[in-house]
């Protein structure tokens, strides 16, 4: 029986903030409107995420609402690496909207917010923020379910709704099957984002993960 928590629906968003004068940010699925008058919103960030550190120092941030046709490489770039050691905006660029960076691309809309309260929830912090401005975009908002079912994407452990699945679980440390038992289709799992690819042969050296963009060396064969 499916865990009822898995029936809670979410969208997908890119948070943009500044780390000093360089842009930072990450993908989140936790964003909701709290009040309608003089709107307040809330997002939920892992305490280890650089994005939270940045917003605590500079409360102005943007939220870009991901559409079904937003470039999925944006999700890969912003959802699986930290701005501590990567320039996630490289290759995309950004616009500065009302003092917050917003990655260039096609989105359903953009929000500009100021964080005004931080609620400690243990591993995560709920950031309560006041809406300062909003800009319409286009497209159909991508739901978390669409991301999992259609894009076949996964979420890393820092996501509040992380679930361990066959795709994200560590590869089984069992002895290799004998050639007689070898399945016809081999499965390889990306050790960065958990994407699983099936192939009758070994993956080619120039294989690149379609979800997070890492090279062949990050794929481990699983049972
Ligand atoms: C689909 C998806 C949903 C995510 N949702 C959240 C979220 O709601 N909150 C969060 O803190 N991290 C979430 N993450 C994980 C962060 O994007 C990820 O940990 C990122 O590397 C943090 O980068 P940073 O250290 O630059 O802030 C999500 C990632 C993905 C791919």
Question: Is residue 52 a part of any domain in this protein?
Answer: yes
Whether 126 is in a domain gets the answer yes
CA-based nearest residue to 150, from 223, 210, 64: 210
Q: Assess whether 175 and 210 both reside in one domain.
A: yes
* Range of the structural domain that residue 84 is part of: 4-149
Boundary residue ending a domain (123, 149, 175): 149
Higher pLDDT, 186 or 169: 186
217 and 190 co-located in one domain: yes
Q: Rounded to the nearest 5 degrees, what angle is found at the Cα of 11, between the Cα atoms of 7 and 17?
A: 140
Whose structure tokens read 């912090």?
A: 125
Counting ligand 1 atoms within 8 A of each CB, the residue from 44, 80, 159 with the most, and so the one to mutate, is 159
Give the tens place of pLDDT for each residue, 34-62: 999 999 999 999 999 999 999 999 999 99
154: in domain: no
Which of 192 and 128 is assigned the larger pLDDT? 128
Ligand 1 atom closest to 80 (CA)? 21
Site residues for ligand 1, CB cut-off 6 Å? 12, 24, 26-30, 44-46, 49-51, 75, 79-84, 147, 155-156, 158-160
How high is the pLDDT of residue 117?
98
Residue 223 falls within a domain, yes or no? Answer: yes
Instruction: Say how many Å lie between the CA of residue 38 and the centre of ligand 1.
Output: 27
Structure tokens at 141: 């908002």
From 58, 63, 43, select the one nearest 109 (Cα to Cα). 63
Say yes or no to pLDDT of 73 above 70. yes
The DSSP output letter for 75 is H
DSSP 164-198: --TTTSPPP-PPPPPTTT--SSEEEEETTT--EEE
In a domain, 159, yes or no: no
- DSSP E strand stretches across the chain: 13-19, 22-28, 31-35, 40-46, 60-66, 94-97, 100-103, 107-121, 124-136, 186-190, 196-199, 219-222
Q: Are residues 177 and 85 in the same domain?
A: no
Residues 16 and 89 in one domain: yes
Tell whether 160 is covered by a domain: no
Do the Cβ atoms of 131 and 111 come closer than 8 Å? yes
Shared domain check, 196 and 114? no
- Shared domain check, 223 and 117: no
CATH classification of the domain holding 183: 2.20.28.10
pLDDT score of 151 more than 70: yes
Q: Is 58 found in the same domain as 21?
A: yes
Are 79 and 9 found together in one domain?
yes
Q: How many CB atoms lie within 10 A of CB 44?
A: 20
Residue range 99-119, pLDDT digits in tens? 999 999 999 999 999 999 999
Among 17, 18, 27, 54, the mutation site with the greatest number of ligand 1 atoms within 8 A of its Cβ is 27
Domain limit, last residue, from 149, 174, 197: 149
Q: How many domains does the chain have?
A: 2
Q: Tell me the pLDDT tens digit for each residue of 186-199.
A: 999 887 777 789 99
Residues 178 and 138 in one domain: no
Do 32 and 140 fall into the same domain?
A: yes
Distance CA(194)–CA(168), nearest Å, equals: 5
Q: Which atom of ligand 1 is nearest to the CA of 147?
A: 1
Sheet holding 219-222, edge to edge: 196-199, 186-190, 219-222
Instruction: Identify the domain boundary among 120, 149, 178.
Output: 149
pLDDT confidence band for 176 (50 / 70 / 90): very low
The string of DSSP letters for 207-219 reads -B-TTT--BGGGE
**CATH number of the domain where residue 43 is located:** 2.30.110.10
| Residues 61 and 134 placed together within one structural domain of the fold | yes
Residue 178: φ, ψ to 5°: -70, 160
pTM: 0.84
Same structural domain for residues 28 and 117?
yes
Q: What is the pLDDT of residue 98?
A: 98
* For range 121-129, the mean pLDDT: 98
| 155 located within any domain | no
Q: Average pLDDT for residues 143-156, to the nearest whole number?
A: 84
């Amino acid at each position: 029986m499916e865990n009822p928590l898995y029936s809670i629906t979410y969208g997908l968003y890119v948070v943009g903030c500044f780390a000093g004068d360089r842009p930072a940010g990450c993908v989140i699925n936790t964003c909701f409107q709290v009040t309608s008058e003089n709107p307040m919103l809330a997002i939920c960030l892992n305490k280890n995420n650089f994005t939270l550190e940045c917003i605590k120092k500079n409360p102005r941030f943007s939220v870009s609402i991901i559409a079904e046709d937003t470039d999925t490489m944006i999700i890969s770039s912003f959802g699986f690496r930290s701005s501590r050691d990567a320039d996630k905006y490289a290759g995309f660029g950004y616009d500065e909207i009302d003092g917050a960076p917003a990655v260039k691309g096609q989105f359903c809309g953009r929000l500009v917010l100021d964080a005004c309260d931080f609620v400690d929830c243990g591993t995560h912090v709920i950031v309560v923020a006041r809406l300062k401005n909003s800009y319409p975009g286009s497209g159909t908002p991508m739901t978390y379910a669409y991301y999992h079912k259609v894009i076949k994407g996964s979420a890393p452990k820092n996501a509040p709704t992380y679930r361990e699945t066959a795709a994200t679980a560590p590869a089984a440390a069992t002895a290799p099957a004998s050639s007689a038992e070898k399945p016809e289709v081999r499965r390889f799992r990306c050790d960065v984002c958990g994407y699983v690819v099936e192939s009758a042969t070994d993956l080619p050296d120039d294989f690149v993960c379609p979800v997070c963009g890492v090279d062949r060396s990050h794929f481990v064969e699983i049972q």
